[in-house]
Amino acid sequence: YTWDANEEYLFKAMVAFAMRRYSNKSTTQISNVLLCDVTDRVSFWFVVTDSSKNVTTVPGSEVEAAIRMNRNRINSAFLLSDKTLQFLKITSTLSPPVESSTPVWLIVFGVVLCLIVAGIVFLIVTGIQQHKKKNKESTEREKLEEKGEVTVTVENGIPCETLDLKAGHINGVFAADDERFTSL
């Protein structure tokens, strides 16, 4: 927005408002605030007069204190900030940075760590289970192999061990007939 006489009027009003709030007197009028040396850059000097005491100016320290107290109201009236609306010799106080009770990073760290530990535990447990299963499988396979021989021989009907010549009889007829075969 452009700076014109209306804005100057608003400024005078705000300074008067600040003086009223600060000193709790309702005597300061808009006409008590005088602007001078307005430049194109929009910078100017202003003084506040005290109409109750022979047109003398209010001391600068009082004006400074008043403005400092109401700085944010003045800023928001002009839609400006401490940086864009500067009062020379009135420095703005620094606002302390927001500090949360628990540092945020600890919370994030806790989340990350929980995920990692859960992953590790999961993998170790599955590893142990696999190991046990492999052990169980290998012992079962051994047992199965032993059992397998027994079952095979039983299923066939004729136990293999009985075919072992120790238990049987040698049929002498067939054994002796070997010589009857003519050699080719």
Told to check if 114 binds other proteins by CB under 8 A, we report no
Position among 25, 73, 131, 133 found at the interface with other proteins (CB under 8 A): 131
Cβ-based nearer residue to other proteins, 112 or 154: 112
Cα–chain center distance at 156: 71
Near other proteins in 162-181, by CB under 8 A: none
N- to C-terminal Cα separation, the chain: 128
Told to check if 1 binds other proteins by CB under 8 A, we report no
Told to check if 113 binds other proteins by CB under 8 A, we report yes
Told to check if 119 binds other proteins by CB under 8 A, we report yes
Told to check if 80 binds other proteins by CB under 8 A, we report no
- Residue burial 11-44, b: 16+ Cβ < 10 Å; e: rest: bbebbbbbbbebeeeeebeeebbeeeeeeeeeee
134: left (phi over 0), alpha (psi -120 to 50) or beta: alpha
Mapped onto helix, strand or coil, the DSSP state of residue 104 is: helix
Cα–chain center distance at 167: 83
Position among 108, 150, 152, 163 found at the interface with other proteins (CB under 8 A): 108
Instruction: Report in angstroms how near the CB of residue 8 gets to other proteins at its nearest.
Output: 16
Position among 6, 27, 31, 43 found at the interface with other proteins (CB under 8 A): 43
Instruction: Report in angstroms how near the CB of residue 7 gets to other proteins at its nearest.
Output: 13
CA 53, 54, 60: angle at the middle one, nearest 5?
65
Residues forming contacts to other proteins in the complex (CB under 8 A) are 39-43, 94, 96-97, 104-105, 108-109, 112-113, 116-117, 119-120, 123-124, 127, 131
